[in-house]
Amino acid sequence: MIENRPLLRWASHLVLILGVGIIFFPIYLTFIGSTQSAEQILGSHPLSLMPGGHFIDSYRLALFGGKTTAGASVGAAAPMLLVSLGSALIIAVGKIAISLLSAFAIVFFRFPFKKAVFWMVFITLMLPVEVRIGPTYEVVSQLHLLNSMAGLTIPLIASATATFLFRQFFLTVPNELVEAARMDGAGPMRFFKDVLLPLSGTSIAALFVIQFIYGWNQYLWPLLVTTDESMYPIVMGIKRLISGEVYVEWNLVMATTILAMLPPALVVVLMQKWFVKGLVDAEK
């Protein structure tokens, strides 16, 4: 029962507005910063809250590169955005495809050492990229995959979380559905394509959002694997703008950051409907 007391309503609204404010405020500041010139940012004590007039200049410089007001030359962010987009998409799609198939095998088939296989997959949850970085780097370099899209994405493509999530979902598929499909003459892959995949739609959407953001945020692995500037993802681009320079072009950094936040935000907004349904819904 939700109580209908006005004071409580005011208080809860206040708390929620405060929460939104705290989360939104840094993003707002970043956006403001990106619309000003470098001198304006450095000169303002405290940080200004009103947008400046340099929106187009900052973003053009950030996207396409060129010479800054201080004379330093800056690389273009556009190609880096494309690299990030490409690798995030490949990682998300690849992870989903592989884990769908492994969860399918684990749930619907009997084979020797099935339990051992399942636990081995599960144990890899204890092996994120950071733990296995040495051996993985060596393998990738020996396969001549450094500085390539393949090298950026393939080592990150197996996912125990996604396998586990799909396994849990597949277990809720009633046995009779499988038997009905069998009686209709559907083989395993036919069943997978015609019955399982359509039913998994919401789970796939939810996982796509999670894995896309995971792929987009990758920093350590791309840092190791790429030396060629054309293969840098956007997160590396942002870092490079800040480090080393004595005179940091903050407006550029802000603009690049805003650009880097847009694609994942777009993905979340577009998939949002399915995201929540996928995590909560149990369709029969």
Partner 1 sequence: MATIELRQVSKRYGQGKASVPVIHSLDAAISDHEFVVVVGPSGCGKSTLLRMVAGLEDISSGEILIGNRVVNRLEPSQRDIAMVFQNYALYPHMSVFENMAYGLKIAKMPSAEIKARVDKAAGILELGGLLQRKPRELSGGQRQRVAMGRAIVREPQVFLFDEPLSNLDAKLRVHTRLEIQKLHRELGITSLFVTHDQVEAMTLAQRMLVLNAGRVEQFGTPEQVYARPASTFVASFIGAPPMNLLRQAPGVPADTILGIRPEHLDMGQGWDLRVEAIELLGAERLLYCRLGPEPLILRIGADQPSPTVGAHIQAQPRAQQVHHFDAATGLRR
Binding pattern for the stretch 117-156 against partner 1, x by CB under 8 A and - elsewhere: ----------------------------------------
Report the distance separating Cα 197 and Cα 56, nearest Å.
45
Q: With CA atoms as reference, report the closest residue to 147 among 83, 229, 225.
A: 225
Please report how close the Cβ of residue 119 comes to partner 1 at its closest, in angstroms: 24
CA triple 69-74-76, angle to 5 deg: 125
Specify whether the CB–CB gap between 63 and 76 falls below 8 A.
yes
> Is 110 a residue that touches partner 1 (CB under 8 A)?
no
Q: How near is the Cβ of 175 to partner 1 at its closest, in Å? A: 9
Secondary structure class of 195 (helix, strand, coil): helix
Assess 188 for contact with partner 1 (CB under 8 A): no
Per-residue string for binding with partner 1, 156-185, x by CB under 8 A?
A: ------------------x-xx-xxxxxxx
7 forms part of the interface with partner 1 (CB under 8 A): no
Size of the site for partner 1 (CB under 8 A): 18
| Long-range contacts of the stretch 230-233 (C-beta < 8 A, 24+) | 230/79, 230/83, 231/83, 231/147, 231/148, 231/149, 231/152, 232/80, 232/83, 233/80, 233/83, 233/84, 233/87, 233/152
Q: Which of 194, 262, 270, 276 binds partner 1 (CB under 8 A)?
A: 194
- For the bound state, the minimum distance from the C-beta of residue 183 to partner 1, rounded and expressed in Å, comes to 5
Q: How far is the CB of 191 from partner 1 (least distance, A)?
A: 10
Which CB sits closer to partner 1, 195 or 248? 195
Least CB distance from residue 181 to partner 1, whole Å? 8
- In this structure, are residues 192 and 241 in contact, taking their beta carbons and an 8 Å threshold? no
Q: Toward partner 1, which CB reaches closer, 228 or 283?
A: 283
* Cα gap 198→62, rounded to integer Å: 42
Binding-site member from 114, 190, 193, 273 for partner 1 (CB under 8 A): 190
CA torsion sign, 254 to 222 to 91 to 202?
Answer: negative
Which of 6, 46, 71, 198 touches partner 1 (CB under 8 A)? Answer: 198
Exposed, middle or buried by CB within 10 Å (0-12, 13-18, 19+), for 162?
buried
Which residue ranges make up the site for partner 1 (CB under 8 A)?
174, 176-177, 179-186, 190, 194-195, 198-199, 283-284
